[in-house]
Structure 1
Amino acid sequence: MENHFHFLKNAYFFRTLSDEDIVKIQAVCKEEQFNTNEIVFFEGDMGDRCFIILKGSVEIWKDYNSPERDMLAVYKSGQLFGELALIDQSPRGATIVVRESVNLLSITRADFDRVLAGSVTISISIMKSISAMIREQTEHFLDNLRTSKNRLSMAYAQLRKEVEERKQLEAQLLQAQKMESIGTLAGGIAHDFNNILFIIFGYTQMTLEMMPETSPFHNNLKEVLNAAERAKSLVQQILTFSRQGSQELQPLQIQFIAKEVVKMLKSSLPASIKIKQNIDTNCGPVMADPSQIHQIIMNISTNAYHAMEEKGGTMEISLDNININIQSPSEDIHNMIPGPYVRLSISDTGCGMTRELTERIFDPYFTTKTQGKGTGLGLSIVHGIVKSHSGYISVKSEPGAGTIFYIYIPMLTSSIDLTQKASEKSVPTGKEQILIVDDEQPIAKMLQKMLEPLGYNVEYKTSSMEALLEFEKHPEKFDLVITDLNMPGMTGDELAKALVRIRSDLPVILCTGFSEIITEEKMKAIGIRELIMKPVVKNELARIIRNILESRE
C-alpha cells in the first residue's frame, strides 16, 4: 500500500493532509481495474465515489451519447476525477471512458464520511482543497474567457476592416463601370458634336474669307470661330475622358489659357468668391496640350470653389518662371530635375485639409466632397496630366488655413516661333479630282464648297455603297478619297479596304469625330494615308491633301 500512499499524498484533493490523515484515507481506498473503451460511469448518474488514476488513462466526454458529443480532456496517472461525489450526491457532469487499460483507487462517499467523522483536520483540509480547486478552475476559466474575448475582438476588427475594404472595392468597381458607361456615351456625343462643329468651322471660315475686314460682321465671325475653337477643346477633353483623345503637345504659352480661365471663372462663380490673378505675361513657352492645361486649371479651381462654397473666400491664380537648381531646390518638391520651369499656383482660403488627407488626394476615387459632389477622379486626372507633361505637382494645406497647389511644367529652352503657325496665310491649291464620302450631306457639301475654290474637282457621295459602285465604274477617275469612318452599311475603313483592293495606289484620308476601333497599325495595314479628327480647319485640310498628293509624284 506504500505506492497508494504516495499517490494519495500527491493528489491535490489530499495534498494538505498530514501523513497520519493520508493513512486514514488510504485505509478506505479500494483498487479497481477497467479495460479499454469500458465506461467507468455515465454523466447524469448520481455520484457515490471518486477515483485516482494509478496507471493508464481515461477520456472525459460531454454528451457522450449525442451525435454532437465532445471530448473535454484526457486524464493520466496521478489525476483525480469524480471528487465532488465525496462532498455531495450531485449528478455526474461527464462520462468517463477508458482510453487504455486503467488501474484506479476509489473511495466511496460512505467510507469517506466515516473518516471525516473521526477527524476535524481532514474536513478543514478538504474544504480548503475544494476552495483552491474552485478558485484555480475559475481563474483558468476567466483566463480562457479573456483570451477568447481578445481573439474575438481581433477577429471582429479584422472582419470589419475586410468588410470596409470590400465595400470600398465594390464602390470603386461600380464607379469604374459607371465611368466606363459615361465614357462610351461621351464618345458618342463627341462624335455627333464634332460633326456639328465641323460644319460651323467650315462655313464660318469660308464666309469670313469672303467678308472684307472693314465689315462690322468680320469681327463677329471671328468670335464665332474663337467660340468654336473653345468648343473643340472641350470636346477633346471629353474624348480624353472616354480614352479616345490623343495628347497633342505643342509649343504653348500657358499665360493665355490661364487668363481665359480667370475670365470664365469671374463670370461664373458667385460674388462671395473673390478671384485674384498674378500672371506673368513674360512666362516662357512649354510643350503642352492646350486642352489638358485648361483642364488642370479648371479642375483645381473647381475644387477651390467647393472648399469656399459655404463661407466664401479668395482664390488666387498665379503664373511665373522659376529656375530649379541643386543649390536652391524647390520648397514644394525636393526631387525635381534642375532646370527652368513655368510654375502655376492656385490657392484658396477655404477649410483646408489635414496631412492625412493631402497624402491621399491624388488617389483615384478618393474625395472629401459629399455624396453627389465629386467622383474622386478630378485630381487623379490632373496628376496624370502633369506627369505626362514631365511636370511635378504638390499641395500644401492646413485645417482652417486654406490650400495651395503648385504645378511645374518644364520650360522650352530652344527658340521657337509661336506665331509661325498662325501667320501661315497661304493655302496650298491643286487641280486633282477628289471624292468625298460622308453619310451626313451638310458635311459632304461643306467640304465640296471648301475645296473647290482651291482648284480641286470635287464629287461627293452620302452612301459608302454608292461611292464603291462609282469607283468600280471609274477606278482611274479620282486622285484622292476622303471618307468618314462611322457610316451605316459599310464603315469608312471597310470602304478604304475595298477601294485599295481595286486600286492599290489610291490615297485615302479617313475623317472621324470619334473612334475606338481604328489604330495607326490598322490604318497602315488597310492603306489609309492619314487619319483626321473632326473638326479640321480649311488650311490644315488643304495642307494634308497637298502633302499626300505630292508624295505620289
Structure 2
Amino acid sequence: MLAGIMGNAEMLQYKLSENESLLHYVFNIIRASEHAARLTSQLLSFARKGQYQKIPLSVHRVISEVVSMLENTIDKKIIIEQKLTANPHVILGDPTQIQSVILNLMLNARDALIDGSGKIIISTEIANINKELSEKYRKGISPWQFILISVSDNGIGMTEEVKRHLFEPFFTTKEVGKGTGLGLASIYGVVKNHNGIIDVDSQEGSGTTMKIYIPISLIEPEEMDEDIYPLETFNGMGMTILVIDDEELILKTIEEILLKFGFNVILAKSGRDGIEIYKENYN
C-alpha cells in the first residue's frame, strides 16, 4: 500500500516540478510515507520478519560511509573518532540493515551528548563471545570469532531502569514527538537476525558504549559496479516488462512509471496469471 502511495506521489512530484506551491504538499506526502515505511521496517526488524539480503560485507566500508554522511550533517561541536582495527572485517549481512544499525547507534550517541557537544567514538576489533555474554543473551551460540562494533559517547549515560527496558519496542527517553521508541528495538532485531549479540555498558553521568558482536565471514565482498545512469537519460526502447502484483494501485503506478520511460507494460494480478500471460506472449 505504501509503495503505491509513494510511487504516485513521486510521479506527481515529477510532473509538478515547475509548480513550487503544489510541490510543498507533494513533499509532505512523500515524507509521511517514508516515515510510515521506516516504522514498518523497524517493527519487522524487531519481530525478525523483515526481508534480508545477506552478502559478504565490509563493516569498515559501511562505517566510513555513515561517518562521512554524519560529519556533513551534525553539529561541528561534536567530534567523531574512528578506531577501526578489526582484521578481517567482513561479515555476512544485509547492507541496508547494517548501515541502519550503525547510523541509529551513532544518532543515539549524538542525542545523549550534553549541550550538543562532545565526542563519539566508533571502533572495531576481533572478539570472542565469553561465557557470561553467551549465557546472558544467546545460550548455545557458536564459539566462532566475532567482529565487535562499539559506539561510545561521553554523554549523560543511563540509569539501571533505562537499561532494563532499553530494547523494548516503544520505550524511549526522548521528549514526546522526538522518538518512536523503535530505534533500539529494531537494532536488537537486526542483530539477532545476523546471529549476533548486542550489549550495553553505561553509567549515569559517565557516558555509554553500545557493543554489537557479529560473526566474521571468510568470504570477501565482490567489488561493486559504480556505473550509474541518470534517470532522465534512460529509455526502455520499446522493451516489454511483465509486472505482477496483487495490489491494483501498485500495478497502475508501476505501469505509469515504466510507460513514461519507453517500456511496453503487461500487468498481472497474480503469479498464476503472470505465468499464463508469459506463456501466451513468449517468443
Deviations 1:241-264 (A, max 9, x none): 485962111111111110111111
Could you list the runs of 5+ residues in structure 1 that have no partner in the other structure? 1-183, 197-233, 424-432, 449-459, 462-466, 468-482, 484-491, 508-548
Residue 269 of structure 1: aligned partner: 74
Match for residue 306 of structure 1? 111
Q: Does 1:443 align with 2:234?
A: no
Q: Which residue of 2 aligns with 1:401?
A: 206
Decide which of 418, 427, 443 is 2:221's aligned counterpart.
418
Give runs of aligned pairs for residues 99-118 of structure 1, distance below 5 A. none
Unaligned runs of 5+ in 2: 13-34, 227-237, 244-251
1:511 — aligned with what? Answer: none
1:366 maps to amino acid: F
Secondary structure of the 1:365 match is coil
Instruction: Look up the match of 1:379.
Output: 184
1:25-64 alignment runs, 5 A limit: none
Contact preservation (8 Å) 1:237, 1:245: no
The residue type equivalent to 2:209 in the other structure is: I
Paired letter, 1:443: L
Question: Share of identical aligned residues, percent?
Answer: 32
Structure 2 residue 64 is matched with structure 1 residue 249: no
2:41 aligned partner: 240
Distance 1:500 1:337 in 2: 43
Taking a change above 3 Å as real, the CA distance of residues 446 and 394 of structure 1, as seen in their structure-2 partners, is same
Give yes or no for the alignment of 1:347 onto 2:152: yes
2:15 equivalent in structure 1? none
Shift of 1:281: 6.7
Pair 1:493 & 2:260 matched: no
Could you tell me how far apart the structure 2 residues matched to 1:499 and 1:366 are?
44
Aligned mates of 1:499, 1:356 — CA distance in 2: 54
SS of equivalent to 2:169: coil
CA contact (8 A) 2:199 2:211 kept: yes
Normalising by structure 2, we get a TM-score of 0.68
How do 1:17-416 and structure 2 match up within 5 A? Answer: 185=2, 187-192=3-8, 240-241=41-42, 246-280=51-85, 282-310=87-115, 312-324=117-129, 337-413=142-218, 416=219
1:214-248: CA deviation from partner (whole Å, max 9, x where unpaired): xxxxxxxxxxxxxxxxxxxx999677348596211
SS in 1 for 2:206: coil
CA contact (8 A) 2:59 2:91 kept: yes
Contact residue 149 and residue 212 of structure 2 kept, 8 A: yes
1:91-116, Cα deviation, whole Å (9 max, x unpaired): xxxxxxxxxxxxxxxxxxxxxxxxxx
> Following the alignment from structure 2 to structure 1, what is the Cα–Cα distance between the partners of residues 177 and 194?
31
Amino acid at match of 1:283: P
What secondary structure sits across from 1:343 in the alignment?
strand
Q: 1:370 to 1:240 in 2, by over 3 A?
A: closer
Runs of 4+ in 1 over 6 A off after TM superposition: 193-196
- Is the deviation greater in 365-374 or in 401-410? 365-374
* Residue type at the aligned position of 1:346: V
Q: Secondary structure in 1 aligned to 2:147? A: strand
Give the SS at the match of 1:356: helix
Give the superposition deviation at 1:377.
Answer: 1.2
Q: How many residues align?
A: 235
* Partner SS, residue 306 of structure 1: helix
Q: Residue 258 and residue 498 in structure 1: after superposition, are their counterparts in 2 closer, same or farther (change >3 A)? A: closer
Mapped contact 1:190–1:238 kept (Cα < 8 A): no
CA-CA distance at 1:325 after TM superposition:
6.0
- Counterpart of 1:93? none
Superposition deviation, residue 291 in structure 1: 0.6
| Alignment-mate amino acid for residue 418 of structure 1 | P
Contact 1:279–1:319 (8 Å) recurs in 2: yes
The structure number with the bigger radius of gyration is 1
Change (3 A) 1:274 1:390: same
Distance 2:85 2:10 in 1: 34
CA separation of 1:329 and 1:249: change in aligned 2, threshold 3 A = same
- SS of 2:145's partner is strand
